[in-house]
Amino acid sequence: MACLWRRSLHAAIALALPAAALGQAASKAKSPPALGIVEELRVPLPDARAQRGSALLVGADGLMISIPLWGGEMVAFDSTGKQLPYKQTIGGPTDPEIRYAERFGWVGKTMWVWDPPSQQIALVDPQLKVTKSLEIPAWIRPTWADRRKYPVFARMNPLALYPDGSWLVGPTNPKSLVDTPDYDKTKTYVVRITESGSIQRTIAKVPWLPNAARGVPAEKGKQVSPRNFAFWSASSEGSRILFGIPSTTAGDSNHVLTLINEKGDTIYSRPMFFADPVAAARVGRDGSAWLQLRGRTGDRTWLALDPSGRVRGTVTFENNTFIHDADATRIWTTERVGNTQLLVRYKLTNAPPPRTPAPSKSSGRPRPPASASPSSTP
């Protein structure tokens, strides 16, 4: 029990690790092994509006839901790839129940969809029917007892919903109505709130970093590395939340990766070196972490960590393929070929990929090995 207690440090402490500690992180390690994949399912998806394609949500029973990012038909497939006989329209001129799907996940067997234009979180049953609309609170606010700990927040980004009715959110646009000496303005907060917007407790604090925002030019004579951006992502049911906090030291590509549970207890916190910036992060259905590295080859290499934080290996796809969920044995992706988007599921193995890959049908150039671990990642 003592060992478990030591691992249950609050995430707010783990995420505030000083730059000096990051500088002491492990130096460059050898390249992780390449993992093998075997395609086991390929299904065309319905057309989505504006050519933005669809995202994918995978249920515990293997149910796969395709969510159009800019409107269209939300459809479902069973674990064998058979399309099920129900759908839900997102967007369009006919006053749909869901106008836009910004983010989504699971609360039990119910799907939730954050719909900012409608100021709601829609609850959707397994037949894709909207069963309830939860109104977005006008303010995210502290209780009276905690009025010195937090300001009020005008907006929020939901990360997860839980069976007890609470939400995991990242509140934004703080407005101080009274003095808040306990509120750290240098941090981004991740908190649990009630459905009405009352803050229950802090789950994590993510430090702001001294760099330019994306799209903003650096100061004259000063270089800004994209590696200096923090990232975080939650699993679809909110039981695991991953944070990546980079070093603030110039030229230092070390990060601290921290995985916490829904209560804010630390599962692991470890230093890692990335030769290339992290472009995207996913938390798999089993608590594994999948990090897309931004390299120079034009392909997408994903680094896989098991649920304890140990590096398992890498998987590389062409840049028309994106991972949406994964576990120890499978990867769920979408792939665009011309104007068609496909749902593709792979079986994952520890065997290395074949040395001589087949030509890609989508781009006309050789497809990279099914998980090559290149010296320069995409």
CA distances from 46 to 205, 288, 297 (A): 39, 29, 30
pLDDT the model gives residue 228: 56
Q: Cα–Cα distance between 290 and 164 in angstroms, integer?
A: 28
Residue 4 gets which letter from DSSP?
H
Q: Cα–Cα distance between 247 and 138 in angstroms, integer?
A: 36
In this structure, the number of other CB atoms found within 10 A of the CB of residue 135 comes to 12
Handedness of CA 64, 344, 329, 285 (dihedral sign): negative
Residues of the chain with pLDDT under 70: 1-29, 48-52, 209-228, 248-253, 351-378
Beta bridge partners of 153: 140, 174
Beta bridge partners of 199: 193
Number of H helices, E strands in the chain: 3, 24
CA-based nearest residue to 286, from 330, 323, 321, 231: 330
Structural contact between residues 378 and 301, judged by C-beta atoms closer than 8 angstroms: yes
CA-based nearest residue to 171, from 212, 138, 214: 138
